[in-house]
Amino acid sequence: MENVGALSILLAFCLAVFAIVAALVGKYTRRPYLAVSAERAVYVVWGLLTLASGILVTLLIQGDYRIAYVAAHTDKAMPAIYKFTAWWGGQQGSLLLWSWLLSTYCAVAVFTNRRKFRDMMPLVVAIMMTTLAFFVAMVAFVASPFQVLMAGKGIIDVGDGNGLSPLLQWWTMAIHPPFLYLGYVGFTVPFAFAMGSLLTHQPGEGWIHTTRRWAIVTWLFQSIGILLGMGWAYTVLGWGGYWGWDPVENASLMPWITATAFLHSVMMQEKKGMMKVWNMVLVSATFLLSILGTTLTRTGLVASVHAFAQSPVKPYFTSFVVGATVLVAIAVIMNLPYLRSEVKLESIVSRESSFLFNNLILLASCFAILWGTLFPVVMEAITGEKETIDAPYYNRVNVPIALFLIFLTGVGPLIAWRKSSLSSLKKAFMLPGAIGLAVIVGLAIAGIHDIAPLISFGLCAFVLATVTSEFWKGSRAIQAKEHIALPRAAFELTWRNTRRYGGYLVHVGIVIMFIGFTGSAFNKHETRNLGLNESVRFGRYDLKLLSVNDGETSDYRFSHAVIELSQNGKVIDQLDPEVRVYNNSQEQSSIVGIRRRLNEDVYVNYSGVLPDNSKAIFQMYLFPLVSCIWMGFWVLLFGTIVCLIPGKVRLQYARTEVVGFASAPATVQS
Amino acid sequence: MRARLQRSSLKLVLAFCAVVAALVAQDPTSFLTPDVLRVGDHLACRCSGCRNTVGNCPMLKCDFADPMRRRIYQMKMTGMSDQEIVNTFVREEGTVALAAPPTNTFGGLFTWVVPPVVLILGFFVYSAWVRRNRKAPEPISAADQANLERFRDQIDGELDE
């Protein structure tokens, strides 16, 4: 069976190369049948990679321990679901998953555009298949998941495998990588359409209309992937952290930031024909950062808890990223005249200008992260001097940028398109500004004196007030006109323009998440040793150790503690932290006890016992407002789905501008 | 003079006893004093890619952070200041020992300075772009201004939808 899998991958590679050649030859020698043949090859590549993936999953679930990948990432004791998720638990399998997902995206993109963009599609196919051919080549020739274990000239069956790291045997971690990959991989499609449009000088913004949903959906996948990773870290790692500024985490955040900037600035091109070069740069940067992220994860280029070990794919990935960057830069520079803006800016104080400014700040944040991630590698290569860049650097650099971004999130909707007068700005800013200030003053009186959290809470209130006033004004207008109840008017308002109001909901989600991030300024942590029936005071709570039970399953040994949580003498909850040691790997893993509430989480990690077995060691944490992060995510998810729903009113983005005046009435050009 | 010497010797003996007692005890929590955690926050924990500091590394028996905490504890017992302890680690291991790049080396300073410099450059590029792409305002009469405002509202409405 493994031979069929390996052959499928090899054939997929050959057909991907055929698709590239056929698409380009078909396009430039005007042979449409070759271009069509290239498109059909895309479907066949998908079929072959689906077959290879199916075979790998079957081998994993059956437990065929002749296969090196199966022996390295599964064992007999693992539940079937984690045997399935071992598909992406190692280097080779995850590269196959990446290739399969990309081929699926390619097939869907080709199918949905089979009657459109006939002039551009061969190039789109060639670009997508070049990316796919690279990944399939890695799976076929460098990191094959179908290698068998050999002893001398014979194949051996080791009987049982090493198993998957216990830290990865968790439902959020089971689905976190596929979501991230869906996000990473997805941006290949908008990138290919953007490049195709650039190279064939397509009139209008066809590629934007076609790929807008792709961009939003892949951005959503990236968001879900990142949040799942954060949720996993919070629940599993035993220290309550959800973001450690690890290079691999940074690698997932950077394309998300550029994608966010792209989703904002693309509106300028769609509505006003502006910022064409910028959008081309952003969509390319997102694609290249996605590949860079994969490079960081797979090649061991930087030290990370997430990265796979040093692997032979490193030079190929590095060459691909560098080569692609150079080619994209050449393509953009050579076609600059095509990307000239159609409309000029009327005023600095305008929505257009604020979009550009927001992009600038987002990119600055992305650059700071990229710099912190790659600078130690560059520095060591040049000077031989090692340097560590950890959380203190990222927090110091990114917190001010993030605060400014929050401010811009609130300012954007208040500024009119083209030009805002001082009086209209004053009117728009008055109430939200006053609410933001009131929150700052109120919290300062309540005893919060740290400047960063105060500003953050104030800005969050400012943005929430801005968005609420936008909903309020629009809903009231509809209510007055149509004589319907306010909630129905708000629904109607959102449905009429799902993109705009869905976008506002996404902003609300982000702000709620920021409230959660700000709460971390007030985290509390203590490590205490407790004997049986011994109590300890922690914050407003009393924690009493009721029992400790040891036991064993087929997979691991465990020690389970029961802790009674009281407040003001009244028992309010019971926490059950557990520590496990897995038989196969001897790896230790924690199951933390968490009492989740909106205002704060009580989080207890059972770290083990003292050497004389007299007491158990517990790490206790209080995390104020951390639930806002997960709640904000649901709002973000809802808002993004709203954005994807077609609006009730079909939108026509008229390129409207005032071109002159007659005595009466003025002329409006559409 | 003699009494002072005796007092110093006594202090030294007491410190030594405390250090020995702490080291003999294997309880990793006994080193988690506020002093140790404060100093540890300046030092990077480098256990297999961990991005925490020695102060906030959550693994009590961490291969890297635990011995570091013990050493910091010993150094504190002998009366060293926070800065002296940090300097000792930097002398032994280089700036890689620090959790954040130092500001007194070229590489460290470069790390800190580049992001804000890039941001400032970005502002310049932004203003240059705005200047180049800005339409010159045309002189219009008061009556036309009123018309303009009316149609601007209409255009804004269309753009917002």
pLDDT for res A669: 41
pLDDT of A457 above 70: yes
**Same domain, yes or no: B92 and B113:** no
Residue A668: band (very low, low, confident or very high) from pLDDT cuts 50, 70, 90: very low
Helix (H) or strand (E) holding A594: strand A593-595
> In percent, how much of chain B has pLDDT > 70?
63
Q: Which of A348, A391, A649 sits opposite B51 (nearest CB)?
A: A391
Contacts of B46 in chain A (CB under 8 A): 388
Residue B27: band (very low, low, confident or very high) from pLDDT cuts 50, 70, 90: low
pLDDT for res A303: 60
pLDDT digits (tens, 9 = 90+) for A534-568: 999 998 999 999 999 888 887 788 889 999 999 98
Per-residue pLDDT, averaged over A633-659, amounts to 75
What single-letter DSSP state applies at residue A619? E
Radius of gyration of chain A (CA): 28
Contacts of A383 in chain B (CB under 8 A): 107
Confirm or reject contact between B103 and chain A (CB < 8 A): no
Shortest distance between the Cα of B2 and any Cα of chain A, in A, equals 43
Contacts of B114 in chain A (CB under 8 A): 371, 375
What distance in Å separates the CA atoms of residue A618 and residue A553, rounded to the nearest whole number? Answer: 23
Shortest distance between the Cα of A465 and any Cα of chain B, in A, equals 19
pLDDT of A381 above 80: no
Shortest distance between the Cα of B36 and any Cα of chain A, in A, equals 14
Chain B: residue nearest A277 by CA? B129
**Same domain, yes or no: B58 and B83:** yes
SS3 A344: coil
Q: Which of A305, A351, A387 sits opposite B96 (nearest CB)?
A: A387
> Hey, are the CB atoms on B52 and A656 less than 8 Å from each other?
no
pLDDT digits (tens, 9 = 90+) for B119-128: 899 888 888 8
> Hey, are the CB atoms on A619 and B58 less than 8 Å from each other?
yes
**Same domain, yes or no: B23 and B70:** yes
pLDDT digits (tens, 9 = 90+) for A237-282: 777 788 888 888 888 899 999 999 999 888 888 777 777 888 889 9
Contacts of A244 in chain B (CB under 8 A): 50-52
pLDDT for res A625: 94
Chain A: residue nearest B53 by CA? A390
Domain that includes residue B93, residue range:
2-97
What distance in Å separates the CA atoms of residue B67 and residue B85, rounded to the nearest whole number? Answer: 14
**Same domain, yes or no: B92 and B110:** no
> Hey, are the CB atoms on B151 and A658 less than 8 Å from each other?
yes
Shortest distance between the Cα of B1 and any Cα of chain A, in A, equals 44
pLDDT of A664 above 60: no
Name the CA dihedral angle for A335, A337, A341, A346, rounded to a multiple of 10 degrees: 140
Q: Which range among A124-133, A478-487, B66-75, B145-154 shows the weakest confidence by mean pLDDT?
A: B145-154
**Same domain, yes or no: B60 and B14:** yes
pLDDT of A19 above 90: yes
Average pLDDT of every residue of chain A: 85
Chain B: residue nearest A267 by CA? B159
Q: Which range among A111-125, A421-435, A486-500, A562-576 shows the weakest confidence by mean pLDDT?
A: A421-435
The CATH number for B74's domain is 1.10.8
> Hey, are the CB atoms on A668 and B154 less than 8 Å from each other?
yes
**Same domain, yes or no: B86 and B120:** no
Chain A: residue nearest B61 by CA? A607
**Same domain, yes or no: B89 and B114:** no
Shortest distance between the Cα of A360 and any Cα of chain B, in A, equals 7
Asked whether the beta carbons of A49 and A101 are under 8 A apart, the reply is no
pLDDT for res B10: 54
pLDDT for res A403: 92
What distance in Å separates the CA atoms of residue A120 and residue A193, rounded to the nearest whole number? Answer: 8
pLDDT for res A666: 42
Amino acid at A637: L
Residue A304: band (very low, low, confident or very high) from pLDDT cuts 50, 70, 90: low
**Same domain, yes or no: B138 and B87:** no
pLDDT for res A115: 84
pLDDT digits (tens, 9 = 90+) for A49-64: 999 999 999 999 988 8
Beta-bridge mates of residue B43: B98
> Hey, are the CB atoms on B49 and A305 less than 8 Å from each other?
yes
Contacts of B96 in chain A (CB under 8 A): 386-388
Average pLDDT of every residue of chain B: 75
Show me where the domains of chain A are located. 1-164, 422-496, 514-670
Q: Which range among A303-307, A590-594, B51-55 shows the weakest confidence by mean pLDDT?
A: A303-307
Confirm or reject contact between B104 and chain A (CB < 8 A): no
Q: Which of B29, B51, B114 sits opposite A390 (nearest CB)?
A: B51
Per-residue pLDDT, averaged over A364-382, amounts to 84
Q: What is the ipTM of this complex?
A: 0.74
Shortest distance between the Cα of B16 and any Cα of chain A, in A, equals 23
Shortest distance between the Cα of A666 and any Cα of chain B, in A, equals 7
pLDDT for res A163: 77
pLDDT of B153 above 70: no
Q: Read out DSSP for A24-58?
A: HHHHHTT-HHHHHHHHHHHHHHHHHHHHHHHHHHH
Q: How many CB atoms lie within 10 A of CB A165?
A: 14
Contacts of A663 in chain B (CB under 8 A): 143
Burial class (CB in 10 A: 0-12, 13-18, 19+), A670: exposed
Residues 114-153 of B with CB under 8 A from A: 114-115, 118-119, 122-123, 126, 129-130, 133-135, 137, 140, 143-144, 147-148, 150-152
> In percent, how much of chain A has pLDDT > 90?
38
pLDDT of B13 above 60: no
Shortest distance between the Cα of A650 and any Cα of chain B, in A, equals 9
Chain A: residue nearest B138 by CA? A660
What distance in Å separates the CA atoms of residue A240 and residue A600, rounded to the nearest whole number? Answer: 12
Q: Identify the sign of the CA torsion A93, A98, A104, A106.
A: negative
Chain A: residue nearest B146 by CA? A666
**Same domain, yes or no: B20 and B51:** yes
Confirm or reject contact between B154 and chain A (CB < 8 A): yes
Q: Which range among A203-217, A332-346, A645-659 shows the weakest confidence by mean pLDDT?
A: A645-659
Asked whether the beta carbons of A658 and A346 are under 8 A apart, the reply is no
pLDDT of A653 above 70: no
Shortest distance between the Cα of A342 and any Cα of chain B, in A, equals 10
Q: Which of A353, A392, A656 sits opposite B158 (nearest CB)?
A: A656
Per-residue pLDDT, averaged over A410-435, amounts to 78
**Closest of A184, A219, A21 to residue A95, by C-alpha:** A184
**Same domain, yes or no: B83 and B149:** no
Which of A658, A659, A667 has the most B C-beta neighbours within 10 Å, making it the best mutation to test the interface with B? A658
Answer with the one of B48, B67, B97 that is the final residue of a domain.
Answer: B97
Contacts of A401 in chain B (CB under 8 A): 119
Highest-scoring range by mean pLDDT, A82-91, A112-121, A158-167, A318-327: A318-327
Question: How many separate domains does chain B show?
Answer: 2
pLDDT of A21 above 50: yes
Per-residue pLDDT, averaged over B147-157, amounts to 64
Shortest distance between the Cα of A368 and any Cα of chain B, in A, equals 5
> Hey, are the CB atoms on B156 and A416 less than 8 Å from each other?
yes
> Hey, are the CB atoms on A356 and B129 less than 8 Å from each other?
yes
What distance in Å separates the CA atoms of residue A613 and residue A595, rounded to the nearest whole number? Answer: 27
Q: Which of residues A31 and A437 earns the better pLDDT score?
A: A437
What distance in Å separates the CA atoms of residue A384 and residue A372, rounded to the nearest whole number? Answer: 17
Asked whether the beta carbons of A172 and A232 are under 8 A apart, the reply is yes
